[in-house]
Structure 1
Amino acid sequence: MPSSSAGIVTGLVTAALVTIGVLAHQASDGVPGDLGRTRATTSPAPGATKAPRDRRHPDALPAGSGTGERVVYSVDDDRVWLVGPGNGVRRTFGVSPGTVDPAPGVYTVTSRSNQVTGSDGVPIEHVVRFTGAEGVAVGFSAAVDGSTSKPDPDRRTGGIRESRADGDAMWEFATIGRQVVVVP
């Protein structure tokens, strides 16, 4: 084959591979969170035992919850901290967990959806998924109607519900790849 034909074939193959990569990336945005389930990459620091760490300041960021910009979620306290540069807490708020809790550890945001229907049938917005547990996707979301009621204990749900205002803040802060630290 002449060298110009080989160059054309190489160019076509390269273009095809780039197109496949772009389509795969776009398709991954719509994949349920539990299909590409991530595992905790590390455990929280040894000092991260049970929140709140400071009884006089229950909203204080848990010691040993990592460094850098991140989301910190305390399973025991049903509380979230959005942590900016220099360990500065941008926002903290209470949440209503689903019936399935993520294991303590360090995760990353793997997918997001602007609006979907939750596993409990409730329309939700600003879904930020970071792992899966017991066959369900686990992530933060806000009910479109603003409700944060406790989930049906007979259903396995991984949605950690926030108010709509807190959901807006989470949506802006927790982009794909953002670290999520889960502490007990």
Structure 2
Amino acid sequence: MPARLPSWAWVSGLTVGAIAAVSVLAVQADQGPHPTAVATRPSPSASADAKPSPKETAPAPVPDGSGTGRRIVYSLDQKRVWLVDASDAARRTFTVWPGTVSPDPGTYTVGSRTEGATTGSDGVQIEQIVYFAQEDGVSVAFSNAVDGSSPPPPASGTKTGGIRLRKADGAAVWAFATSGTKVMVVG
């Protein structure tokens, strides 16, 4: 009579197979064409002859002096992020909520990433954390709240390095910012 495999072995084998399949699909998706998405807000007027303002139709340009090639650009002054592809075209741009500790302007790289939910320094459940700098003993990272909320005002004197994103923007940064991705911080 042939030996029967225990159920844990079947589950382990299926889990490893599923992880391998997802990894292959993720690599294939990253190498394929990438759509350009720009967040725009609809005009409050629904009249047929209303024309959108240039602010609604034209995305904010990538700041001068923010480097070249595939990178994330983070503007401290504009509180905005751009995901820039290898041809120097902005694939996505959006505003963010910075923490109380900001990195100095300069070039950084994505060091580590944490996908699962954890509690941020503001007590909010966050996910898709992309670490790229250390400033004043505080880790600086992009993340989004699990529930999609904006961050609460920090308590007086609290040092927070989280740059909070909207949920869809957090997913876009997570997909774009693989380990070693360049992050350019500008004033």
**CA distance in 2 between partners of 1:118 and 1:146 (Å):** 13
Q: 1:153 Cα deviation (Å)?
A: 4.7
Match of 1:77 in 2: 78
8 A contact 1:97–1:150 mirrored in 2: no
Residue identity in the other structure for 2:82: W
Structure-1 separation of matches of 2:59 and 2:171: 23
Question: Which region of structure 1 is more displaced relative to structure 2, 103-112 or 152-161?
Answer: 152-161
SS of aligned partner of 2:178: coil
Q: How does 1:48-87 map to 2 (within 5 A)?
A: 59-87=60-88
Deviation, 1:141, is 0.2
Task: Give 1:148 shift.
Answer: 1.6
Residue equivalent to 1:119: 121
How many residues matched?
130
TM-score normalised over the length of structure 2: 0.66
**Percent of aligned pairs sharing the same letter:** 56
Corresponding letter in the other structure for 2:71: R
User: Secondary structure at 2:115's aligned position in 1?
Assistant: strand
TM (normalized to structure 1)? 0.67
For structure 1, the residue ranges without an aligned partner over 5 or more in a row are: 1-55
* Separation (CA, whole Å) in 2 of partners of 1:81 and 1:96: 14
Match of 2:167 in 1: 164
Larger RCO (alpha carbons 8 Å, 6+ apart): 1
Say which is worse superposed, 67-76 or 116-125, in terms of deviation.
116-125
- Contact 2:122 2:151 (8 Å CA) reproduced: no
CA RMSD of aligned residues (A): 1.6
> Would you say the 8 A contact 1:99–1:151 is kept in 2?
no
Q: Which runs of 5+ in 2 are unaligned?
A: 1-54
Moved more, 123-132 or 144-153: 144-153
The equivalent residue for 2:131 is: 129
Which residue pairs with 1:89 in the alignment?
Answer: 90
Query: Helix, strand or coil for the counterpart of 2:61?
Result: coil
**Structure 1 runs, 4 residues or longer, greater than 2 Å off:** none
Q: Match for 2:106: what amino acid?
A: G
Offset of residue 58 of structure 1:
6.7
2:122 counterpart SS class: coil
